């Protein structure tokens, strides 16, 4: 039996992944209290794809760059598990990535490690990105032994590396906080507002009339439900007594284990 979770705080829980995280934590038995911390409320969701009753989920408006807002929400929600999935979307300026992904992540960790929360917050799962090891060159059969590139491709990737390092370096601190990082690649599935809508927009504007390269490039996309499931498993494993193989570690999340030659 996996360790029961009494209260989970899903930071960024109004987002694409966040809504699927809510959905999977909702299906757990026993069901934990489920709280969302986000700068915006959750969207209206189709019952075709999500099984939770929105009335059972508590939304807390807050900004991860504001320690007072975090403190107040941690006090009310008393989470034993925090899932940190908040990030600005792709295509924003460098400053906002550093403010949210680096300063905001540091603030979450700093507040979670304040003595007041030692007896409450046991585990933090960070949504990192497979792009943390991307340097612009082809990566085939990459795994967790791959190093971060010396120069990141862009500010998003750079700040996801720094966010991951902040969360993993908090492992074992305070009263023995457990942390890990999950690295999904491009997400697809119900509720996606970036990948497929972006492709359709290109199609509608005839942007597919030309081709760059030989059309043989590979890219790893991961189904959103599998990524959410990985977060649930990571949270349960961190709460388990035997966490030596998860705590302090980062894991790529993919649909399968394809091997390309």
Question: Hey, which residues are catalytic here?
Answer: 160
Give least dist CB 19 to ligand NAD, A.
8
CB-wise, 15 or 32, nearer to ligand NAD? 15
The two tokens of residue 75 are 């006090």
How far is residue 217's CA from residue 204's CA, in Å, rounded to a whole number? 23
Residue 128 CB neighbour total at 10 angstroms: 26
Of the pair 117, 188, the CB lying nearest ligand NAD is at 188
Looking at beta carbons only, is 17 or 177 nearer to ligand NAD? 17
Q: Which is nearer to ligand NAD, 160 or 178 (CB)?
A: 160
Smallest separation, CB 5 to ligand NAD (Å): 20
Return the bridge partners of 154, or none.
Answer: none
Q: Least Å distance between CB 187 and ligand NAD?
A: 4
Q: Could you tell me which of 10, 16, 14 has the C-alpha nearest to residue 42?
A: 14
- The per-type count for the chain, helices as H runs and strands as E runs, is 7, 9
- Chain residue at closest Cβ approach to ligand NAD: 15
2: DSSP letter: P
Q: From the CB of 160, what's the least distance to ligand NAD, in Å?
A: 6
Q: How far is CA 206 from CA 3, 35, 102, 202, 211, in A?
A: 51, 42, 38, 6, 12
Task: Give me the residue label for tokens 């360790």.
Answer: 3
Binding site for ligand NAD (CB under 6 A): 12, 14-18, 38-40, 63-65, 85-89, 100, 104, 127, 129, 160, 184, 186-187, 194
């Amino acid at each position: 039996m996996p360790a029961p979770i009494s209260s989970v705080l899903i930071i960024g829980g109004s987002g694409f992944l966040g809504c699927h995280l809510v959905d999977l934590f909702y299906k757990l038995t026993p069901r934990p209290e489920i709280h969302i911390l986000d700068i915006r409320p959750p969207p209206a969701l189709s019952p075709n794809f999500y099984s939770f009753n929105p009335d059972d989920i508590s939304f807390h408006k807050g900004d991860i760059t504001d320690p007072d807002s975090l403190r107040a929400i941690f006090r009310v929600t008393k989470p034993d598990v925090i899932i940190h999935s908040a990030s600005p979307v792709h295509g924003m300026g460098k400053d906002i990535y550093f403010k949210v992904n680096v300063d905001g992540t540091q603030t979450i960790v700093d507040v979670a490690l304040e003595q007041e929360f030692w007896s409450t917050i046991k585990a933090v799962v960070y949504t990192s990105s497979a792009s943390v090891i991307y340097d612009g060159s082809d990566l085939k059969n990459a795994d967790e032994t791959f190093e971060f590139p010396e120069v990141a491709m862009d500010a998003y990737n750079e700040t996801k590396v720094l966010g991951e390092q902040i969360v993993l370096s908090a492992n074992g601190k305070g009263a023995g906080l457990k942390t890990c990082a999950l690295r999904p690649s491009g997400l697809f599935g119900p509720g996606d507002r970036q990948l497929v809508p972006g492709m359709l927009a290109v199609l509608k504007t005839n942007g597919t009339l030309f081709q760059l390269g030989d059309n043989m490039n590979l890219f790893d996309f991961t189904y959103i439900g599998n990524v959410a499931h990985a977060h649930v498993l990571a949270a349960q494993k961190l709460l388990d007594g035997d966490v030596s193989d998860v705590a302090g570690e980062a894991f790529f999340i993919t649909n399968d284990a394809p091997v390309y030659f």
